[in-house]
Chains A and B, each alone.
Chain A
């Protein structure tokens, strides 16, 4: 498959544990944030998103937390599974959904 990045920060967790992936965003005017998952050889896949008027949003096994004060975003994955192994990107959006800025990614490695 395609290599999506070299020397990415890597988080290694045991299967069944919870994972927390962090992201610092840059623009205080950003009002929409998204987490993507990218498996080897594939395009990014939407996981969960959140608007700036919220500080928490939950999906199936995933939770996104937003702290606007320190411009920090986190993705929590409950009961991490081997299929969760991938590179995870956060993205911020300004300019009314037109432009998107992505972080450099974190590689999640789930050990069985």
Chain B
């Protein structure tokens, strides 16, 4: 089944304790992206990756890191989480070819992160 998976689905942690949220897709997609969703704000893009070893900042990158060593995986790293990073996080992927006319993004199920 074509899908985007995220782990963990729920995480409660404390300020300053490094954590990683994993994201994996099995559709051979080039483009991957991380979003956070907060009440009343919709989804905001954190980082995206056009392909392996190519990453760039989205709208709200502060406090986050990403890596893209393999095509299928795009982990989100919080080196020193803070309470304002408490949010619902989504990973997404798409074919990502700029020349394509239409470019559907497939989203993972979400990770609910609480930072105390």
Contact = CB atoms under 8 A, between A and B. Distances in A.
Given A49-B102, A98-B50, A6 B31 contact: no
Interface in A31-74: 32, 34, 41-46, 49, 51
A89 B37 CA distance: 12
B74 interface: no
Interface residues of B, number: 34
Contacts of A32: 103
B88 A4 contact: yes
B90 A99 contact: no
Nearest to A96: B98
Interface in A2-53: 2-8, 32, 34, 41-46, 49, 51
Contact count band on A: 20 to 34
Interface of A: 2-8, 32, 34, 41-46, 49, 51, 89, 91, 96-105
Nearest to A100: B45
A102 B101 contact: no
A102 B105 CA distance: 13
A102 B42 contact: yes
B39 A43 contact: no
Interface string B58-72: 110000000000000
